[in-house]
Amino acid sequence: MSYASRRAKFNEKFDEIFSSIFGTLAGFVVATGSLMRFAIQSIRSVFTKPFRWDEIISHMEFVGNKSVVIIVLSGSFTGLALAMQIYLGFKLVNMTALVGPTVGLGVLRELGPVLTGLIVSARAGGAMAARLGTMRVTEQIDALEVMGVDPVQYLVSPRIIATVLVMPLLTGIFDFVAMAGCWVICIFLFGIDQASFWDRTTMWLKPYHLYEGLFKAALFGLFFAVICTERGYKTKGGAEGVGNATNEGVVTSMVMIIVLDFFITNLINVFYRFQKYFMS
Amino acid sequence: MSEQDDKPQSEAVPSPPTEEASSARVPEDKNTAGRPKFTGKNAIELKDVKKSFDGKEFVLNGIDLQIPRGQITVIIGYSGTGKSVLLKHILGLVTPTSGSIKVQGQELTEMTEAQRTQLRQGYGMLFQYSALFDDMTALENVMFPLKEHRRGQMKKSEMQEVAKARLKDAGLDPKHFNKLPSEMSGGMRKRVGLARALALDPEILIYDEPTTGLDPVLTEMVDNLIVSTHNARKGSTSVVVSHDLYAAFRIADHVAMLDSGRVLLYGTPEDFLNSEIDLVKRFVAKGVRKELTPKEGEEPLRSTE
Ligand SMILES: Nc1ncnc2c1ncn2[C@@H]1O[C@H](COP(=O)(O)OP(=O)(O)O)[C@@H](O)[C@H]1O
Ligand SMILES: [Mg+2]
């Protein structure tokens, strides 16, 4: 094979790969752009009349109340498992009294918001995408528009607000039961002294660790609610479309929560550093 | 049956709250409040409207159509010729690829979303599959537009009265008022959808295949309801998309036939009966049998041009 023909073949392959990368990238940018526009539109319509308190309350009930059981279950078992694992490590260096604060920090700052986000996005986020998708394909959203009711304001904004409000509460419950699980394991299974458990835990855990986690939770709620409602709202084509929208919404939300968590954690650390700088 | 059904309706319509609310919203000239007086002949004008969803195939391919104010215009055509898409253009739910759409003299394509939302409050629409809110009962569905747009003007009990009256007009038995759409038959859902469309006494009424899937008795009842509703509101404009040529001739002042994304023929029912266009002649011949959809195994009626 001559150099020229090999060169041509290489060019062709290169173009192909490049255009596919570019296409994916462009698609991603466009999708992100339209998601942002949707988010801005729905957050803006929260502040337009009529205010939909009833809707917000009923969605809070749906997102929150109906997730409590799952959250309590997964929270307590997370606490139990984590305490067990960490005890094994700390026993080697005879610092078992530090199991409490270690589990506490991990749960309050990371696992609480992340796991709550994942669980609630799968349950409530999926349900939102399915509901809005069904309303789209059965022309209920068109019917709203024809009646002069802004469907984003009526359907989307209350769901987003309700999720942002409820996520910190659920995370708080998760944190509480996880710590309770940890306490049960430490005191009754490993026989760690009550007083030193509490002493160490209150020494290391500060309220701002809790607030940090709750802030993250609200942010995760915002993200998965926007993603899932957007997928549902823009559903195309029949029952199959609804299934796809639900699937896409949940998967995107979960990945986004894990990816975002890293960046938010970093941002929060930067914030702490600046805070110290300003205070000193 | 329909004659008797119309009687309670004409009594129910002027129930005080509705009358008050609608006269507050719709001034003498039948225009939406706040807009300059519109005295034009055509409520809706479409000029060379083209629409393609995918950039290749044109669902609408140069629609020219004038819908006269104060009359009933029926749009006929086969399934998939873009009748529903045309209605969505008129409602401003879909933007045309090119062309102009004027509603009461105002260019729809140049309006902001807020202006379009405002405009739509003067529309009432019955969807092809009713499009009822499936988490609300029949009564709640009809009350919904009232709750949205009559907040502060009507008490909740008044809204309930109006909604009940509308549902009775549409022929729904009161024992079904608190049923969810999933517990109702297709015909019952249609009635609820009709009641909901009429809840606000709109100026422009749009029906997307209101009688498709209903039995002949119900079809006649719905047709009569369309006409009596239209007549009860002087100056209101009705646009009916239909499969049913027989009904179209009975209720229409004007008929427009769509084919291949264009208006094949526009005229009075007589124009259709006297038309020399081959497809229209075959259409009219079919119309005697009331159904326009080609039956199984039949050669489909398609434009051959
Ligand atoms: N939102 C949409 N996206 C893509 N294609 C559409 C959309 N809405 C309608 N169509 C297509 O337009 C054509 C006309 O549909 P429609 O107006 O529903 O027909 P009908 O005359 O039976 O009401 C169909 O082929 C349909 O697939
Ligand atoms: Mg249709």
User: Closest partner residue to A148 among B120, B132, B133, by Cβ?
Assistant: B120
Contact B149/A at CB under 8 A = yes
Give the model confidence (pLDDT) of B187-224 as tens digits: 788 889 988 988 887 889 899 988 877 778 778 877 88
Spatial distance between the Cα atoms of B199 and B150, rounded to a whole number of angstroms: 11
Give the position, in ligand 1's atom list, of the atom nearest the Cα of B128: 23
DSSP A234: T
Shortest-distance ligand to the CA of residue B88: 1
Per-residue pLDDT band for A280 (boundaries 50, 70, 90) equals: low
Do residues B281 and B272 make contact, with C-beta atoms less than 8 angstroms apart? no
Q: Residue B282's pLDDT is what?
A: 77
Coil, strand or helix: which one is B58? strand
> Measured between CA atoms, how close is A123 to chain B, in angstroms?
19
Q: Residue B291's pLDDT is what?
A: 43
Give the position, in ligand 1's atom list, of the atom nearest the Cα of B209: 23
Do residues B265 and B257 make contact, with C-beta atoms less than 8 angstroms apart? yes
Shortest-distance ligand to the CA of residue B95: 1
Question: Mean pLDDT across chain B, nearest whole number?
Answer: 78
Q: How far from A31 is each of A26, A227, A234, B279, CA to CA, in Å?
A: 8, 11, 12, 45
Q: How far from A192 is each of A69, A199, B239, CA to CA, in Å?
A: 29, 12, 79
Interface A–B counts its CB contacts (< 8 A) at 49
Q: Residue B38's pLDDT is what?
A: 56
- The answer, yes or no, to whether any atom of ligand 1 lies below 6 A from the CB of B82, is yes
> Per-domain residue ranges for chain B?
42-288
Q: Residue B279's pLDDT is what?
A: 80
Q: Residue A171's pLDDT is what?
A: 97
- The answer, yes or no, to whether any atom of ligand 1 lies below 6 A from the CB of B22, is no
The mean per-residue pLDDT over the stretch B268-292 comes to 73
Whether the complex's predicted ipTM is more than 0.85 is answered with no
Q: Residue A152's pLDDT is what?
A: 93
Quote the tokens at residue B166: 């509308």
CB contact under 8 A, A146 and B120: yes
- Evaluate if residue A112 carries a pLDDT over 50: yes
Quote the tokens at residue A219: 């942010």
CB contact under 8 A, A50 and B118: no
Quote the tokens at residue A223: 């993200």
Tell whether the torsion through CA atoms of A172, A176, A181 and A185 is positive or negative.
positive
- Smallest CA-to-CA distance from B43 within B68, B63, B72 is with B68
Report how far Cα A88 is from the mean position of its chain's Cα atoms: 30
Count Cβ atoms below 10 Å from residue A161 Cβ, excluding itself: 21
Do residues B223 and B168 make contact, with C-beta atoms less than 8 angstroms apart? no
Shortest-distance ligand to the CA of residue B258: 1
If you measure from the C-alpha of residue B129 to the centroid of ligand 2, how many angstroms do you get, rounded to a whole number? 9
Tell me the range of B16-30, B33-47, B56-70, B239-253 where mean pLDDT is highest: B56-70
Coil, strand or helix: which one is A102? helix
CB contact under 8 A, A134 and B127: no
Do residues B264 and B277 make contact, with C-beta atoms less than 8 angstroms apart? yes
Strands B204-208 and B237-242 turn out to be parallel
Which H/E stretch holds residue B206?
strand B204-208
The greatest distance separating any two alpha carbons of chain A, rounded to the nearest whole angstrom, comes to 81
Give the model confidence (pLDDT) of B106-144 as tens digits: 898 888 887 887 788 788 898 888 899 999 999 999 999
**R_g over Cα of chain B:** 19
- The answer, yes or no, to whether any atom of ligand 1 lies below 6 A from the CB of B89, is no
Give the position, in ligand 1's atom list, of the atom nearest the Cα of B83: 21
- The answer, yes or no, to whether any atom of ligand 1 lies below 6 A from the CB of B83, is yes
Give the model confidence (pLDDT) of B293-303 as tens digits: 444 444 443 33
- The answer, yes or no, to whether any atom of ligand 1 lies below 6 A from the CB of B81, is yes
Spatial distance between the Cα atoms of A244 and A237, rounded to a whole number of angstroms: 10
CATH, range B42-288: 3.40.50.300
Do residues B124 and B202 make contact, with C-beta atoms less than 8 angstroms apart? yes
Query: Based on the number of CB atoms within 10 Å of its own CB, is A90 exposed (0-12), middle (13-18) or buried (19 or more)?
Result: middle
Chain A contact probe: residue of B90, B111, B144 with most A CBs at under 10 A: B144
Tell me the range of A124-138, A182-196, B153-167 where mean pLDDT is highest: A124-138
Nearest residue in chain A measured CA to CA from B87: A146
Strand segments (E) across A44-159: none
Looking at the DSSP bridge assignments, the partners of residue B63 are: B49
Residue type, B283: F
Per-residue pLDDT band for B28 (boundaries 50, 70, 90) equals: very low
Comparing A259-273, B125-139, B235-249, B283-297, the range with the smallest average pLDDT is B283-297
> Measured between CA atoms, how close is B119 to chain A, in angstroms?
8
Give the position, in ligand 1's atom list, of the atom nearest the Cα of B77: 21
Do residues B149 and B118 make contact, with C-beta atoms less than 8 angstroms apart? no
Coil, strand or helix: which one is B296? coil
- Evaluate if residue B13 carries a pLDDT over 60: no
Contact B295/A at CB under 8 A = no
- The answer, yes or no, to whether any atom of ligand 1 lies below 6 A from the CB of B59, is yes
- The answer, yes or no, to whether any atom of ligand 1 lies below 6 A from the CB of B129, is no
The DSSP-derived string for chain B is -HHHHHHHHHHHTT-HHHHHHHHHHS-TT-PPTTSPP---SEEEEEEEEEEESSSSSEEEEEEEEEEETTSEEEEE--TTSSHHHHHHHHTTSS--SEEEEEETTEEGGGS-HHHHHHHHTTEEEE-TT----TTS-HHHHHHHHHHHHSBTTB-HHHHHHHHHHHHHHTT--GGGTT--GGGS-HHHHHHHHHHHHHTT--SEEEEESTTTT--HHHHHHHHHHHHHHHHHSTT-EEEEEES-HHHHHHH-SEEEEEETTEEEEEE-HHHHHT---HHHHHHHHHHTTS--SPPTTSPP-----
Which residues make Cβ contacts (< 8 Å) with residue A111, sequence separation at least 6? Answer: A78, A82, A178
If you measure from the C-alpha of residue B45 to the centroid of ligand 1, how many angstroms do you get, rounded to a whole number? 21
Q: Residue A170's pLDDT is what?
A: 97
Q: How far from A262 is each of A164, A251, B59, CA to CA, in Å?
A: 19, 18, 48
Contact B151/A at CB under 8 A = yes
Residue type, A71: I
Per-residue pLDDT band for B97 (boundaries 50, 70, 90) equals: very high
If you measure from the C-alpha of residue B258 to the centroid of ligand 1, how many angstroms do you get, rounded to a whole number? 13
- Smallest CA-to-CA distance from B32 within B110, B123, B114 is with B123
Question: Mean pLDDT across chain A, nearest whole number?
Answer: 91
- Evaluate if residue B4 carries a pLDDT over 50: no
Buried b (16+ CB within 10 A) or exposed e, B141-163: bbbbbbbbbbeeebeeebbbbbb
User: Closest partner residue to A146 among B123, B129, B133, by Cβ?
Assistant: B123
Share of chain A above pLDDT 90, in %: 61
